[in-house]
Structure 1
Amino acid sequence: MTIYTGTYTAAIGTDSSVVAGEYCDVSVAEDYIITYRQGEDGEEIPVTGMSDRVVLGPMEIGVRVDDPDSYRKIEKAAEQVLESHGWRVAGPWELGDNAAYAPVEQI
C-alpha cells in the first residue's frame, strides 16, 4: 500500500529522453514513503520520494533542451511557471542526469 505524505516535489525535465517536445518542462507530484531508516535513538524515520501522483504538468518552461546554457536558466523559468499556478519552491534544487528536483508548496 502506498502511503502519501502530503508534501510535494517539482521536477524539471531537462533532456529529450524525458520531455515530450523540444523544451524543458516542470511537473509537481505528491511525495510518498519509500521505506524507513533507523534514527539515532532507534526511531523509524520515513524516507520519501516523488510519486507518480502528478498534480501539475508537465508544463513547458520556455528553455530548449538543446540550449547549452539550459542549466543556468531552468530554475528561474520553472519557478515562474510554478508561481503562476499557485506553487513556490521551498528548498534547493538538486540536479540529476536528466532532471532537477526541489520541494514545493502551494501558495
Structure 2
Amino acid sequence: MLVYNVTVKVNTDIHEEWLEWMKKTHIPEVLATGYFSKCRISKLDIQEDDGVTYAIQYDCFSIESLNKYMSLNAPALQKKTLDRYSNQFVAFRTVLQVIEEIFPTHTKS
C-alpha cells in the first residue's frame, strides 16, 4: 500500500474556511476518482504565526493507481484549489510506501 501525502501550509486568515472546503468538496472529489481507499486529515502540532500546516494523507491501492490519478485527475483538481486559494497556501507532495503495520497485543484506555 502507498500513502499519497499532501502537506499544506495555509494562511491563518483562511485556514478554517479552507479546511471546510477540503472536507466537503476537494477530498470527496479526490476519493470519487476511485484510486484511493480513504483519507486522513492531520494538523501539525506546531505554533506558526504565518499559517497553519496540515497533512492530507490518501491511502492508495498501487503505484499504477497513483500514476493514473496523477496523470488523469490531479491536474484539474489541483487547478480548482489554485483558482480558489491562489497565493494563500503552499503545498508539497510525497509518496510513502507502507512497509508494515504493527498493532499492540493489548491497550490501556
TM-score relative to the length of structure 2: 0.31
Which of the two has greater strand per residue?
1
Which of the two has greater helix per residue?
2
Answer 1 or 2: higher relative contact order, Cα 8 Å, separation at least 6.
2
